[in-house]
C-alpha cells in the first residue's frame, strides 16, 4: 500500500513541515513507479496524444509512453477516441526501459481484458452474438473484441448447416456461405496460453430456445400470424421454429391442394409466415397453418360449379369406397367419385375402373360448400338427361379450349346426334 499522502500546511504549518510533506509525496511517487510490474494492467489518464505516441499518467505522476507501433494495432476509430483527459486502461510492457521510460500498450490491455471477459462468459454461460469473419475446413472464425474465436462445424446449429452449408460441399467452400452472418454463441473453452477460444452456436441456441419457450407459450394466441423458419420435415408435416419453440404445420394445413409430401410446399431453412391454430401450454404444442393465410377456394365453389356440370379431374387416390379426383386447373377442389358412380355394373374396387393420375371427364352431382365436399360421377357423364346443358357447355368450351379433353368428350356421338336436331340458329358460329 502506498504511504498516506499529507496535505501541505498553508496557514498554521511551519516551513519545515511543508518541506517534510513535499519529500513524503516525492517518495510516494517514486515508490509507486517502482511498484509497477511487467504484464500489469493499470488505469491512467491521457496527458498527450498524437500520431506517433500517447503519454499516459498512470498515477503518482508516473507517465508512461504508448509507442507508435502499438497505436498501429488499433483501428482508426479506436485511435480517434484517444483524447487528452480521457481515462484508459494500459498494459505495462516494461516498467523501465534503457532510457528510464515506462513502456505501455493500449492494444495488449484490450486483449488481456478480452481474455478476462471470455473467462467470465465461460463461467456464466452467457449468450453473445458475433459476426462470422472467415472459415476453414473445420468450421467458422469469429472476431470478439481483439480475440479470434473458432466455432467447429460440429458446434453449429444443424438447420443452419443444412440451409447454408450443404453436405456435398468440401473444404472451406462448405462454410463460405456463412461468412458475414451474425450468430448466437456460447464460450465452451478458454486457454489463453495456447491462444485457444472455442465457441458453440448449438449450445447457445439450445439455451436460448429453452429461455424463450416459456415466454412464447405465454404470449402466443390462437389466430395470430407469426413469422418462423422451417427446421424439419416429416411425413406428416413441417416443424417451424417460432423463435424458441417449434410448431407443427400438419400436412393438411400446408395448402388447400392435396399434399403428399411437405417438400412440395416448403424447404428446410425457408422463412414462412404462419397462422396459429392452437396452443397447448400444458403439452407445449403449437399447431400452425399455411393455408389459412390463403383464400379458401371452397368459399366460392358454388359460383364456379353447378350440379350436372362436366369437369376434368385427375384421380389423386383410391379407397375401397371410391376414388378422389381434383379438378384440373382448380386442384384445391377435390371431389369423391363414389364406387357406385364409377360404372353401370357392379364394381368390386375402384382400381378395376380407374387408376391414380388418370385424367377423366366427370359430372358434378353434388356440392357441399360448408363441409368442403363435392360428389362426382363417371357413369353419369353420358346420360341423355344432361344433353341440353352439355351442349351449351360445349359451345363455350369450343371457343376457349377446343383441344381440351372436356371438349372432346362433349362432341361425342350422342351430342352429334343432338346437334343434327337443332335449328341453324342454335349452331355455333
Which segment of 78-82, 374-378, 412-416 scores lowest on mean pLDDT?
412-416
The answer to whether 276 touches 225, Cβ cutoff 8 Å, is yes
CATH superfamily for 125-205 is Nucleic acid-binding proteins (2.40.50.140)
The structure's pTM equals 0.49
Q: Where are the alpha helices (DSSP H) in 146-227?
A: 158-164, 201-219
Give the torsion through C-alpha atoms of 302, 306, 307, 313, to 10 deg: -90
Q: What is the pLDDT of residues 322-343, one digit of tens each?
A: 999 999 988 888 999 999 999 9
Please tell me the predicted confidence (pLDDT) of residue 213. 82
Any idea which fold 15-108 has?
OB fold (Dihydrolipoamide Acetyltransferase, E2P) (2.40.50)
What gap in Å lies between CA 379 and CA 359, rounded to an integer? 15
Local structure of 267: helix, strand or coil: coil
Q: What is the overall mean pLDDT for the chain?
A: 81
Local structure of 305: helix, strand or coil: coil
306-384 and 15-108 share a CATH fold? yes
**pLDDT at 163 > cutoff 70:** no
**pLDDT at 381 > cutoff 90:** no
Percentage of the residues of the chain whose pLDDT score is greater than 70: 77
What gap in Å lies between CA 76 and CA 234, rounded to an integer? 51
Q: What is the pLDDT of residues 13-33, one digit of tens each?
A: 566 665 555 555 544 554 456
Any idea which fold 224-293 has?
OB fold (Dihydrolipoamide Acetyltransferase, E2P) (2.40.50)
Any idea which fold 306-384 has?
OB fold (Dihydrolipoamide Acetyltransferase, E2P) (2.40.50)
Q: What is the pLDDT of residues 118-142, one digit of tens each?
A: 999 999 999 999 999 999 989 999 9
Residues 6+ apart with CB under 8 A from 396: none
Cα 414–Cα 417–Cα 420 angle in degrees, nearest 5: 150
**φ and ψ at 325, to 5 degrees?**
-140, 135
Q: Domain boundaries in the chain?
A: 15-108, 125-205, 224-293, 306-384
**φ and ψ at 52, to 5 degrees?**
-105, -30
What gap in Å lies between CA 199 and CA 362, rounded to an integer? 63
pLDDT bin (cut points 50, 70, 90) of residue 360 is very high
The answer to whether 383 touches 412, Cβ cutoff 8 Å, is no
Amino acid at each position: 500500500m502506498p504511504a498516506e499522502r499529507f496535505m501541505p500546511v498553508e496557514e498554521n504549518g511551519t516551513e519545515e513541515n511543508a518541506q517534510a510533506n513535499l519529500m513524503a509525496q516525492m517518495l510516494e511517487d517514486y515508490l509507486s513507479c517502482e511498484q509497477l510490474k511487467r504484464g500489469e494492467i493499470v488505469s491512467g489518464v491521457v496527458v498527450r496524444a498524437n500520431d506517433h505516441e500517447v503519454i499516459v499518467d498512470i498515477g503518482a505522476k508516473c507517465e508512461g509512453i504508448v509507442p507508435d507501433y502499438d497505436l498501429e494495432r488499433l483501428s482508426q476509430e479506436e485511435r480517434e477516441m484517444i483524447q487528452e483527459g480521457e481515462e484508459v486502461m494500459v498494459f505495462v510492457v516494461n516498467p523501465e526501459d534503457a532510457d528510464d521510460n515506462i513502456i505501455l500498450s493500449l492494444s495488449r490491455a484490450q486483449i488481456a481484458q478480452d481474455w478476462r471477459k471470455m473467462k467470465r462468459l465461460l463461467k456464466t454461460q452467457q449468450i453473445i452474438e458475433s459476426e462470422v469473419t472467415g472459415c476453414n475446413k473445420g468450421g467458422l472464425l469469429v472476431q470478439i473484441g481483439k480475440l479470434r474465436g473458432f466455432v467447429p462445424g460440429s458446434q453449429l446449429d444443424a438447420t443452419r448447416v443444412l440451409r447454408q452449408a450443404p453436405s456435398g460441399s468440401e473444404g472451406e467452400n462448405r462454410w463460405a456461405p456463412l461468412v458475414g452472418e451474425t450468430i448466437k454463441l456460447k464460450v465452451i473453452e478458454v486457454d489463453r496460453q495456447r491462444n485457444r477460444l472455442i465457441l458453440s452456436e448449438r449450445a447457445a441456441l439450445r439455451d436460448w430456445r429453452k429461455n424463450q419457450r416459456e415466454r412464447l407459450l405465454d404470449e402466443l394466441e390462437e389466430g395470430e400470424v407469426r413469422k418462423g423458419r422451417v427446421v424439419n420435415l416429416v411425413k406428416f408435416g413441417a416443424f417451424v421454429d417460432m423463435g424458441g419453440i417449434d410448431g407443427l404445420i400438419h400436412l393438411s394445413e400446408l395448402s388447400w391442394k392435396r399434399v403428399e409430401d411437405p417438400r412440395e410446399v416448403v424447404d428446410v431453412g425457408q422463412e414462412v409466415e404462419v397462422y396459429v391454430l392452437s396452443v397447448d401450454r400444458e403439452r407445449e404444442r403449437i399447431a400452425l397453418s399455411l393455408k389459412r393465410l390463403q383464400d379458401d377456394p371452397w368459399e366460392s365453389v358454388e359460383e364456379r360449379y353447378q350440379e350436372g356440370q362436366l369437369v376434368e379431374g385427375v384421380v389423386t387416390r383410391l379407397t375401397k369406397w371410391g376414388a378422389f379426383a381434383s379438378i384440373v386447373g382448380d386442384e384445391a377442389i377435390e371431389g369423391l367419385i363414389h364406387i357406385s358412380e364409377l360404372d353401370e355394373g357392379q364394381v368390386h374396387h375402384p382400381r378395376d375402373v380407374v387408376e391414380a393420375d388418370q385424367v377423366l371427364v366427370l359430372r358434378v352431382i353434388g356440392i357441399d360448400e360448408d363441409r368442403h365436399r363435392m360428389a362426382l360421377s363417371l357413369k353419369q357423364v353420358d346420360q341423355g338427361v344432361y344433353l341440353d346443358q352439355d351442349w351449351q357447355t360445349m359451345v363455350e368450351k369450343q371457343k376457349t379450349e377446343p383441344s381440351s379433353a372436356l371438349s372432346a368428350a362433349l362432341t361425342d356421338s350422342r351430342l352429334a346426334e343432338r346437334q343434327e336436331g337443332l335449328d341453324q340458329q342454335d349452331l355455333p358460329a
